[in-house]
Structure 1
Amino acid sequence: MKKPEPVISVCIPVYETEAYLAQCLRSVYSQDFASFEVLVLSDASPARDEKGRSAKKITKAAQKECKAYRKEMALPPVKIRFLEHRKNRGCVEVRRSLVYEARGQYIAMLDSDDEFLEGAIAALYEAALQNEADMVHGTFLSGQYDENGVFCESEEKRCSRIFYGRKEGLDIARSWFAGIFSGNVCGKLIKKSLYEKAFADIPYTECNMADDLLIFFFLGMYASRYVGIEKKVYRYRINSGMSSGRSIDSLQKWKLLCTSASVFSIISLWIKENNAKDKPLFSGEDLDHLGRVTLRYLTDNVLLLYRRVSPNLFSEARQMLFDYWGEDFVVNVEKVMKEKEKSPIPQSFD
Structure 2
Amino acid sequence: MAYNGNPDTSFFTARDLAFGGNGPVARDTLRHILTKFPNYTDVRNLLAKTYSWDKKYDEARKEFNKITSVERKNKEVWVAAIKNELYAKEFHIALGLANKALIYLSNDPDLEALRGQALKDLSESKTNIESNGTKIREETSEKTTFTNTFGISNAFEVFDIAYEPMMYTSLEYQRETKAGKIIPRLNYGNRFEIQGLQYELDFYPKFSERFYGYLNYGISRSVIFPNHRVGAEVFVNWPKNMEISLGTRYLDFDNVRAHIITASAALYQGNYYFSIRPYFLPDINKGTGLSGTLSARRYFRDKANYLGITIGMGYSPELRQLQDGDELLAETVLYIESQQAMLEYRFSGKKTPNLYRANLGLGRQELVFESGRFFWVVSAGITYQVMF
Please indicate the TM-score interval, normalised by the length of the shorter structure. Answer: under 0.3
Which structure has greater strand proportion?
Answer: 2
Q: Which has the higher contact order (CA 8 A, sep 6+)?
A: 1
Normalised by the length of structure 1, the TM-score is 0.26
